[in-house]
Amino acid sequence: MAENKFPSPHEIEAIPGTEGWERMYPYHYLFTTKDKERKEYEENAFWFNDALHYPEPMYPFDIIWDEAWFLALSQFNTRIFMIPPALGIDHRIINGNVYITPVPVTDPEEVQKRIPLFMERAGYYYENWDKLHDQWEGKMKGIITEIESLEIAPLPDMEDISVVKNGLGTSSGYELLKNYDKLIDLGILCWQYHFEFLNLGYASYVTFVDFCTKAFPDIPLQKITQMVAGIDVILYRPDDELKKLAKLAIELGIDSQIGDDSKDVEVVISELSGSENGKKWIGAWDEAKNPWFNISTGTGWYHQDVSWNDNLNVPLSSLRIYIEKLKEGKSIDRPMEAIKAERKKLIKEYRGLLKTDEDRQTFDQLHGTSELVFPYVENHMFYVEHWFHSVFWNKMRNVASIMVEHQFIKDTEDVWYLSRSEIKEALWDLVTAWATGTKGYGPLHWPEEIEWRKGVYQKFKENRPTPAVGTPPEVIAEPFTIVLWGITNDSMAAWAKLKEIGDPDKVNEMEGFAGSPGVVEGIARVCRSVEDIGELKEGEILVAPTTSPSWAPVFQKIKAVVTDVGGIMCHAAIVCREYGMPAVVGTGQGTAIIKSGMKIKVNGDTGKINIER
Amino acid sequence: MEKRHDYVLWFEECDLESIPIVGGKNASLGELLKANIPVPPGFAVTTKAYNLFLEQGNIKKEIFKILKGIKADDVESGKKASIAIRALIESTNVSDDLQDYIGEFYRRLSKKCNVPAVPVAVRSSATAEDLPGASFAGQQDTFLWIRGVDDIFKHVKKCWSSLFTARAIYYRAKMGFDHELVEISVGVQKMANAWTAGVMFTLNPATGDRSTIAIDANFGFGESVVSGECTPDNFIINKITDEIIKKSISHKTILYTRDPESHCVVKQNVPDERTDIQCVVDKDAIALAKIGKRIEEHYGKPMDIEWAIDKDTPGKAKIMILQSRPETVWSSKKVEPVMKARSSALAHICAGLVAGKKVN
């Protein structure tokens, strides 16, 4: 690891024209040289750019989820489950990009002290997993119902008479402040629940991975994942719903009315409502919307990641791909039986190759636990990042439109350039002015500030962040760091190598994780977001920053995938394994180096990509 | 045709039950074929053929007369006897009917391989091989690149006579084995005319990982790989899923091939245009690995295998297994559990977390 040199976090300079950017983010996210102790801590830690969650720089508002998981993940490691060697994950921001570092317990005695505590606390969760998990699902559905029914109402010129007659004693202004707080609080709460199981889920998975790689040094990580992955994963449901709807359309003979992408969803629906079969189909379509169309077209982490429900043309377009496939006589179903059989075979044969009874016992223990926890690891995302977030962003848009109405901001989409605490302050400004019957100060302050921030953000976007800063560690104990970011010597070395080459036009080989096996050669198509997928042609290789479940239909069209971010468990890797097509994920800079139209060779066995120049 | 079964048998017709008449080596080739493992085609000349030869040539009596003359503690007399017996066997003609059987099989073998007068290996296959401590079996000879019926007869006789090397005679005398009861069969097998060849382990020799098949390959005969004279292409294949996990294509400088005139094995430079080319295509590497897996299943233990991809044999049988023996390095290591056994998954998880993951 010593050969991989990364800059000191304090060396990174502001991009010209963005000076003062720091005020867009929480003050404690900044690297500092003011205090010697803090400076040394920052220099000696290894901070890597969390490009998995944030392929783009942070909007001041969107950092809410970063703060939420900063707290939630860390508290479960440090204070709740007492993970013996690992505390939380610390966060910083440089030029709009989030950098994180796992914080170890450095005192060996302290580690020992934490062991019995961990055994008791984690043990309780593992032992009562199903019961607690059911309870979790209830809690999640509860807060989703709460946020869905949360009303963010505009401020009236005069309060309704009912306020008087009911003796309400509060105003709409107060309600707005209260409900904004409630909205933010539900978001933070949702992220508390998000990590209730995840830390333990990953810890269990990491231990199984560790055993398998010790017993079988050559075992590809994806085979281990296949041995524990769920078959019936909620994240596939939205896509499955589309497949069902495609079949139903053909069955009812209304597929031709669905037309092609030149036909807007509203036109399609209004035409279909003219016939009996059309109405039947609309019924099924409407039923699928809640909750399944709350799937985000992105990762759900950014406000711009609209859900299918936000833009019904997105699922409709995907549905058309399925209809087309069905009409060509092709199967669109996931090969479930084959997946199950493959999984069974892997478990049986790897177990069969173990040499001792002790090993078989350990295998059974760890495989059993991993299998128990893994569905949560796979499924929680639908509840949190997709369903909850999709509702949340739209509630925030309600807040924003009130701010637009009062001229605090010019456009609802400007609200993301304010942090959540700035919005709270602005709402106080707005509400007190409304209450007082004066003009708020906001309209004089925020539009100008937002213009400046937009410029800064644009410059952040044009800048390619350094993958890591600080001093690489020798050992990582934090389960998330190991699994999620796939932070390994190899990937870091590969990134450092790319950096040395410098000129992206000269790179002809790059490396990532072997996400799904197979070797394929073909024409690359770079899609920066799900909106670009219309450009994909049959048989091309998709090159994307990352993919999410709403990209699912494109996997029917392409023959391999390359992503910038993601480990073995990322969406692209999971889906490619299902479809049996090669994937190389976590290449670091795939979309920067590969251009649409280039001929590339994707080797999902080795994780290598060759670019023909 | 009924009688030919007594004297010559295709390898396909041999199995463990036929060891008394075809010997251990030929029987095991038959067993491999039954397990669907491709070996170069060929046939066995049975022990009955050997006996027929001794009887028809009227030399049996003479041989045992010579043998009676030796003294168990006199090495010199054993040597003399060996020379006399071997000369006797090698100078006696093979009778016409036996010539017909063997000659006919050799012609059919050549036809099968699409090569006129196909070069073969002629090697002895002793029936006593399986006797404990009967290591003299290994002393018997193998003759490579033999062509034409006359040379076949000549070398079959040499194999027969190899039963009477001084060492073998001495050994039997010492161990008290009856010379008359020891019989010998001969195998006649197509030489693999390797386009590429190498070795295959049904585990990873570097790590001992039993979920892996490791293949080393170079152009030409396997000698260049076995001897380590050349850095071979290397394939690491997942035994369970038959996927190539890793492959390293090397710069291959030399190869061994057969000189078409002298029929001797010669060392050559690999032609420039081929030095950096993958010498076994992925599909064949995977097919080879599947065969490796079957061999391991057949013997029930990790194996060390020599293989070749043949230039001559048409159709599917082009991959050939030349030798297979149990792997010894990892298999003889003391087996230790991968991880210390613990009472629960949680105990493992806790220990794993405390140990952490080394980044290096």
Instruction: Give the domain CATH number at A520.
Output: 3.50.30.10
What is the percentage of chain A residues whose pLDDT exceeds 70?
A: 94
Mean pLDDT of A152-165: 97
Do residues A426 and A517 share a domain? no
The CA distance from A172 to A438, in Å, is 17
Q: How many CB atoms lie within 10 A of CB B289?
A: 24
Mark whether A455 and A528 lie in a shared domain.
Answer: no
Residue B360: per-residue pLDDT: 47
Complete DSSP assignment for A131-186: HHHHHHHHHHHHHHHHHHH---PPPPSS--HHHHHTT----HHHHHHHHHHHHHHH
pLDDT in tens, A164-189: 999 999 999 999 999 999 999 999 99
Is the pLDDT reported for residue A488 higher than 60? no
Cα four-point dihedral sign A385, A388, A390, A394:
negative
Question: Counting one residue from A and one from B, how many pairs have CB atoms under 8 Å apart?
Answer: 148
Interface probe, candidates A218, A358, A483, chain B, greatest B C-beta count within 10 A: A218
Residues in A closer than 8 angstroms to B353, CB to CB, are 83-86, 118, 203, 206-207, 477, 479
Residue A76: exposed, middle, or buried by beta-carbon count in 10 A (0-12, 13-18, 19+)?
A: buried
CB B343 within 8 A of CB B317: no
Q: What residues of A are in contact with residue B350 (Cβ under 8 Å)? A: 84, 115, 118-119, 122
Distance CA A346, CA B161 (A): 52
Say if residue B317's pLDDT is above 50. no
> CB B350 to CB A119 under 8 A?
yes
Are B348 and A368 a contacting pair at CB < 8 A? no
Q: What is the mean pLDDT of residues B243-270?
A: 87
Residue A141 lies in a domain: yes
Distance between the two ends of chain A, CA-based, in angstroms? 31
d(CA B6, CA B48): 6
Q: Pick from A218, A355, A362: which is nearest to B348 by CB?
A: A362
The residues, any chain, with a CB within 8 Å of residue A77's CB and separated by 6 or more, are A83, A86, A87, A88, A89, A199, A478
- State the pLDDT confidence band at A474, using cuts at 50, 70 and 90: confident
Confidence category of residue B135, pLDDT binned at 50, 70, 90: very low
Choose, out of A207, A339, A474, A511, the residue to mutate when testing the contact with B (most B CBs < 10 Å).
Answer: A207
How far apart, in Å, do the first and last CA atoms of chain B sit?
69
Is the pLDDT reported for residue A6 higher than 80? yes
| Pair A510, A590 in one domain | yes
* Percent of the residues in chain A that have a pLDDT greater than 90, as a whole number: 64
Domain shared by A446 and A524, yes or no: no
- Confidence band for A420, pLDDT divided at 50, 70 and 90: very high
- What pLDDT digit, counting tens, does each position of B142-192 carry? 888 899 999 999 999 999 998 888 888 887 777 777 777 778 899 999 998
Q: How confident is the model at residue A490 (pLDDT cuts 50, 70, 90)?
A: low
Nearest by CB: A349 against B240, B243, B357: B240
**Is A413 inside any structural domain?**
yes
Would the CB atoms of B352 and A350 count as touching at under 8 Å?
A: no
Of the candidates B339, B347, B359, which has its C-beta nearest A475's C-beta? B359
Give domain status of residue A346, yes or no: no
Domain-embedded: residue A355 = no
Cross-chain residue pair A203–B353, CB shorter than 8 Å? yes
- The percentage of residues in chain B with a pLDDT greater than 90, rounded to a whole number, is 52
Which chain B residues contact residue A489 at CB under 8 A?
359-360
Contacts of A517 in chain B (CB under 8 A): 241, 243
Confidence of residue A591 (pLDDT cuts 50, 70, 90): confident
CB contact under 8 Å between B339 and A214, yes or no, is yes
A607 with A512, same domain: the answer is yes
Q: What was the pLDDT predicted at B134?
A: 47
The angle that helices B282-299 and B19-34 make with each other, rounded to 10 degrees, is 130
Instruction: Mean pLDDT check: name the lowest of A414-423, A525-534, B182-191.
Output: A525-534
Which residues of chain A make contact with B235, given a CB cutoff of 8 A?
Answer: none
Residues A440 and A509 in one domain: no
Provide the domain count of chain A: 2
Establish if A22 belongs to a structural domain.
no
Please report residues of A whose CB lies closer than 8 A to that of B349. Answer: 122, 203-204, 207, 366, 369
Inter-chain CB proximity B335 and A219 less than 8 Å: no
Q: Give the mean model confidence (pLDDT) for residues A130-136.
A: 95
For residues A401, A402, A408, A409, the Cα torsion angle rounded to the nearest 10 degrees is: 0
Residue A43 makes CB contacts below 8 A (sequence gap 6+) with A8, A9, A10, A470, A471
Instruction: Indicate the range of A178-182, A528-532, A598-602, B52-56 predicted with least confidence.
Output: A528-532
- Give every CB contact of residue A400 below 8 A, 6+ residues apart in sequence: A409, A412, A413, A414, A415
| A207-261 pLDDT tens trace | 999 899 999 999 987 789 889 887 777 888 898 999 999 999 999 999 999 988 8
User: Do A519 and A454 belong together in one domain?
Assistant: no
Domain boundary among A435, A460, A485: A460
pLDDT category at A504 given cuts 50, 70, 90 is low
Contacts of A111 in chain B (CB under 8 A): 354
Closest CA to A31 of A115, A90, A102, A111: A90
Q: Is B224's pLDDT higher than 50?
A: yes
Q: Going from the N-terminus, what domains does chain B have, and what CATH number goes with each?
A: 4-190 (3.30.1490.20), 194-326 (3.30.470.20)
The per-residue pLDDT for B137 is 44
Is pLDDT larger for residue B205 or for residue B142? B205
Q: Scanning every residue of chain A, which has its alpha carbon at the shortest distance from the alpha carbon of B213?
A: A218
Contact residues for A329 (Cβ-Cβ < 8 A; gap 6+): none
- CB within 8 Å: B204 and A217: yes
User: Between chains, do B356 and A204 touch, taking CB under 8 Å as contact?
Assistant: no
| Residue B133 reports pLDDT greater than 70 | no
B354/A350 touch (CB, cutoff 8 Å), yes or no: no
**Residues A274-304 pLDDT 10s:** 999 999 999 999 999 999 999 987 778 889 8
pLDDT at position A482 is 67
Nearest CA in chain A to B211: A216
- Give a yes or no: residue A203 inside a domain: yes
- For A518, which residue in chain B has the nearest alpha carbon? B243
Residues of B in contact with A606 (CB under 8 A): 245-247
Residue scoring higher pLDDT (A575 or A436): A436
pLDDT reading at B130 higher than 70? no
Check residue A229 and give its pLDDT: 81
pLDDT tens digit sequence for B2-34: 588 899 999 999 998 998 899 888 998 999 899
Q: Residue A1 pLDDT more than 50?
A: no
3-state secondary structure of A65: helix
pTM of the predicted model, to two decimals?
A: 0.81
Q: Which residues in chain B are contacts of A84 at CB distance < 8 A?
A: 350, 353-354
Among A346, A361, A488, the residue with its CB nearest the CB of B341 is: A361
Query: Which chain A residue's Cα is nearest to B348?
Result: A207
Residues B277-303 have pLDDT tens digits of 999 998 999 999 999 999 999 989 999
User: Is residue A360 situated within a structural domain?
Assistant: no
Asked whether residue A393 is assigned to any structural domain, the reply reads yes
Average pLDDT, chain A: 90
B339 CA: distance to closest CA in chain A (Å):
7
Q: Are strands A86-94 and B184-190 parallel, antiparallel or unpaired?
A: unpaired
Q: Give B211→chain A minimum CA distance, Å.
A: 6
* Residue of A613 and A445 predicted with greater confidence: A445
Higher pLDDT, A359 or A532: A359
Query: For residue A151, how many other CB atoms are within 10 A of its CB?
Result: 10
Contacts B346 to A, Cβ<8 Å: 119, 122-123, 126, 369
pLDDT band for A568, please (50, 70, 90 cuts).
low
Q: In which domain, by residue range, is A583 found?
A: 504-611
For B267-279, what is the mean pLDDT? 92
Q: Which residues of A touch B342 (CB under 8 A)?
A: 362, 365
Q: Based on the domain organization, do A517 and A442 belong to the same domain?
A: no
Q: Which of A350, A476, A519 sits opposite B357 (nearest CB)?
A: A476
